[in-house]
Structure 1
Amino acid sequence: MDTLLIDDDSIGVFLTERLLKREGFAENISAYPSAEEALAFLRDALPEELPQVIFLDLNMPVMDGWDFLEALKPYENQLLGHCHIFILTSSLAHSDTDRIHEFPLVAGLIHKPLDSIQIQSVRAQVEAASYGEE
């Protein structure tokens, strides 16, 4: 699965990439330390080269994860069904859990650190969604 990882924590990115590779989850992983860079990438990739999965950190400087999701709203129709966004967060705030329902592109919320069980769950969810399209 082509995967995009958006997180400003370089150690977290390194560990997540290693885990995704070890689990055989991602064929291609692109990591961006800022939401702005990832947004530019996605705008250029639309619609041909979209990642199947995006892991998005919420807490980043300048443009946080919520701002990123707001910026994607004009592209929702192109992304829905093709690109599954999973929010990665260390926050346990109920407001985050409630707010994800405002964004149809968000497939789920995962509490950091990402682990093997969560990766298998994401894989199953994305594969089920893909089979539902056909």
Structure 2
Amino acid sequence: MIPLVLSTDDDYSSQMLMAAYLKDVNFCRSFVSKANGQEALDYLQNLTKDPSLANWPDIIFLDIKMPVLDGWGFLEGFTDLTQDLQKIPPVVLVSATNTAGDISRAEAHPLVTALIIKPISNTALKKLSSLPELCDYFSQEENSSANPASTTVS
């Protein structure tokens, strides 16, 4: 189980559903939500004041289209923020659409681990839990118990 998820999405309902779902399927222990990329960057910047990074997220779910600062803008700021850090969490883009432009841009970005189409599914979580960056959080038993529900793009 992942200790801490940071989710950035301007849709409050999506945030609440995702938080409940991720906890219900034992994907994460704690869930922090931010409404846009700027709020998320401000939150992370504040966390860097603690050298231990004790409350640093273990994974970031990031919506692409948001007001104030979108997912791509967040990634620019996050790249700068994490230059001197040892612990850089995987970033999973979460989008309602899978345009060719978003897919190619996500695949080209060094901090993006995966692109998932909303709504998030058991299949997507199973795929994420098997990634090298995340597999240590999950036992083999947990990985085999997820029930496939839909496809993902990564």
TM-score (norm 1): 0.87
Instruction: Decide whether aligned partners of structure 1 residues 119 and 79 sit closer, same or farther in structure 2, where only a CA change above 3 A counts.
Output: farther
Partner of 2:89: 83
Q: CA deviation at 1:78?
A: 4.3
CA contact (8 A) 1:97 1:109 kept: yes
CA contact (8 A) 2:95 2:115 kept: yes
Show CA shifts across 1:69-88 (max 9, x none).
01112134345753010000
Partner of 2:145: none
Q: Which has the higher contact order (CA 8 A, sep 6+)?
A: 1
CA contact (8 A) 1:19 1:116 kept: no
Partner of 1:33: 35
Deviation larger for 31-40 or 100-109: 100-109
CA contact (8 A) 1:80 1:105 kept: no
The alignment yields a C-alpha RMSD, in angstroms, of 1.9
AA aligned to 1:70 is: E
Partner of 2:25: 23
CA contact (8 A) 2:9 2:34 kept: yes
Deviation larger for 76-85 or 109-118: 76-85
CA contact (8 A) 2:7 2:34 kept: yes
5+ long unaligned stretches in structure 1: none
Show CA shifts across 1:89-111 (max 9, x none).
01121110111134211101000
Partner of 1:110: 116
Q: What pairs up with 1:54-133 in 2 under 5 angstroms?
A: 54-78=60-84, 82-125=88-131, 126-128=133-135
5+ long unaligned stretches in structure 2: 138-154
Runs of 4+ in 1 over 4 A off after TM superposition: 78-81
Q: CA deviation at 1:61?
A: 0.8
SS at match of 2:7: strand
Partner of 2:12: 10
How many residues get paired? 130
Partners of 1:21 and 1:80 in 2: CA distance: 27
SS at match of 1:29: strand
Instruction: Decide whether aligned partners of structure 1 residues 78 and 121 sit closer, same or farther in structure 2, where only a CA change above 3 A counts.
Output: farther
AA aligned to 2:47 is: A
Show CA shifts across 1:14-57 (max 9, x none).
11111101110111100111211111111111251320110000
AA aligned to 2:119 is: P
Instruction: Decide whether aligned partners of structure 1 residues 78 and 20 sit closer, same or farther in structure 2, where only a CA change above 3 A counts.
Output: farther
**Identity among equivalent pairs (%):** 28
